[in-house]
Structure 1
Amino acid sequence: MTSKNVLLICTAGMSSSFLVSKMQETVKMRGLDMKISAVSASEAERKLNTIPVDYLLLSPQVRYLKPSFEKSLENNQPVIYVIDQTDYAMMNTGKIVDDLV
């Protein structure tokens, strides 16, 4: 199994870094090979040009960006997934990881 790169796009914040930490714990507990990182929406394009991304997660606050990411990434498109608002708020990383695998 090859490692999967997951990039979480958010508005800026603290909650996304906490979510990434919890997701990393979930992935480790399940024995999955995923590298997870987060960037703000303003940093996303730069980051997407510097690392390979298999899964692009959008926090509920930036779900409106999905069409622009689909268009800009159409030649090398990762799976783009908008995290459910309740799962994001409850830090339900088990469900979020389940939705990816």
Structure 2
Amino acid sequence: MRKIILLCSAGMSTSMLVKKMKEAAAADNYACEIEAFPMSEAKAKASDADIIFLGPQVRFSKDKVAEQCPGRPVEVIDMKLYGRMDGKGVIARAKQALGD
């Protein structure tokens, strides 16, 4: 089972995306755990993730998160996918990045 973590400013809009991602993963029979947290919890909550996605509004924090969570892929969610709340598209990107 894959662990996918999303980080954003406060976790509000990203939690809506998490719901869409969970629906897309279930429809695709992709075994994963998906959670969203505020940036302030990056090190505590994302250090054991298989992949970490950042909301576009915190894209400037990519290097900091990569430093706090070494060995974990850190990606910024595409602004179009985020704006459309395209859970299927973000899951597809996670699978591609992880080689699943």
TM-score by length of 2: 0.88
Gaps of 5+ in 1: none
Q: State how far apart, in whole Å, the 1-side matches of 2:49 and 2:81 are.
A: 22
2:59 pairs with one of 63, 74, 77: 63
SS at match of 1:32: coil
Gaps of 5+ in 2: 96-100
| Aligned residues with identical type, % of pairs | 32
Runs of 4+ in 1 over 6 A off after TM superposition: none
Deviation of 1:62 (Å): 0.7
Structure label with greater radius of gyration: 1
Deviation of 1:72 (Å): 2.6
Deviation of 1:78 (Å): 1.6
8 Å contact from structure 2 (residues 6, 54) kept in 1 = yes
Deviation of 1:71 (Å): 2.2
Give runs of aligned pairs for residues 1-101 of structure 1, distance below 5 A: 3-49=1-47, 52-74=48-70, 77-101=71-95
TM-score by length of 1: 0.87
